[in-house]
Amino acid sequence: MTDLELIEKKLAFIETCVSELHALCDPENIERDVREERFAAHTLQIAIQAALDVASHIVSDQRLGEPESNRELFQKLAEAGWVAPQLIAPLRDMAGFRNVVVHGYQRVNPAAVRDVVQNHLDDLLSFGATIRTKLHA
């Protein structure tokens, strides 16, 4: 059974992270200020991880299949009607971004951090909104 309280906490955490990025981050300085870059990158990391946690919980609970990667979690949700197909690509890209930050595969590109902050925070909010709508339908 889907743990609604857990999912709501994760979705609220995503919203808090997005709100903090809007309030505390200056995207124009990400490429010039290491503190700005790290704040943005790591706040994104934990928000994206919360989205992955939600996706994993639902995919597992609803028995939507065995994803081969974190990125595939969002594909499974879309196939089952949990998220809109247009959200798949941005969410998969965010999962890849999170992997770079967490695992240090390569240096985090400050321009990529800035792009996510300036152009893709609404994707995280849309993810949360669509999950909530489906849970309470």
CA 35 to centroid of chain Cα atoms: 21
The percent of residues above 90 in pLDDT, for the chain, comes to: 85
Structure tokens at 96: 């890849």
Number of domains in the chain: 1
Spatial CA neighbour of 84 closest among 9, 120, 134, 37: 134
Residue with tokens 């979705």: 11
Q: Give residue 106's pLDDT band: very low, low, confident or very high (50, 70, 90).
A: low
The CATH number of whichever domain residue 125 belongs to comes to 1.20.120.580
Note the pLDDT tens digit of each residue in 21-60: 999 999 999 999 999 999 999 999 999 999 999 999 999 9
Residue 108, pLDDT score: 86
Q: Which domain holds residue 91?
A: 4-135
